[in-house]
Amino acid sequence: MKTGKCLTYLVLLMITVTLSSCKQDKTILSDSEYYKNNGIIITLNKSEYTDKETAELTIINLSDHDIILGNCGLYPGFDFEKKINGEWFKLYDIICEAIGENYILQSGKKYTFTIFMHLLENRFPNSSGPYRLKLWLYNKVHNNREYLDDSIRVTPEFFLISN
């Protein structure tokens, strides 16, 4: 009976050692894989807006890297996209009134920005439908302007109602 217990403890010890040596090496992950695994949370306060409302954009950086969000002066940098026949299309390039310093989104912190829907809708009046914002997010570690993967830097889909 003692041999059986010793064998059981030995097997458990081997499993523990094996499992503890299976840690993932973050250095072999691409930026996209890293941020999908470690979390950048992008939310809007509502799923439907009129062109007269403001949206509250929240970004939570749960990764252990700082990230950069481009600045367009009055609001963070983003592309405005509309879903047409199930596919996303960039409607236009945002015209930045005064490009300012980029926002450094520190690891472990939450950031909130206000987006004025009338700025978006004025370019395409009477165009109700599903939209999203594709944020100008990139990795601070690499210090380049290569944006993070689209799947990481988009807001949830929202519906814009034109009046």
CB 113 within 8 Å of CB 71: no
Give the residue from 148, 143, 146, 145 showing the smallest Cα distance to 42. Answer: 148
CA-to-CA distance for 27 and 120, rounded, in angstroms?
39
Q: Has this prediction a pTM greater than 0.75?
A: no
3 state SS of 116: strand
Mean pLDDT of 135-156: 82
Tokens of 98: 């005064």
Across the chain, mean pLDDT equals 75
pLDDT band at residue 14, thresholds of 50, 70 and 90? very low
Sorted by where each starts, the structural domains of the chain and their CATH numbers stand as: 28-161 (2.60.40.10)
Tokens of 140: 């601070």
* Encoded amino acid at 137, one letter: L
Mean pLDDT of 110-129: 78
Mean pLDDT of 143-147: 72
The proportion of the chain whose per-residue pLDDT surpasses 90, expressed as a percent, equals: 34
The pLDDT assigned to 111 comes to 95
pLDDT band at residue 18, thresholds of 50, 70 and 90? very low
Comparing 27-31, 33-37, 117-121, 158-162, the range with the smallest average pLDDT is 27-31
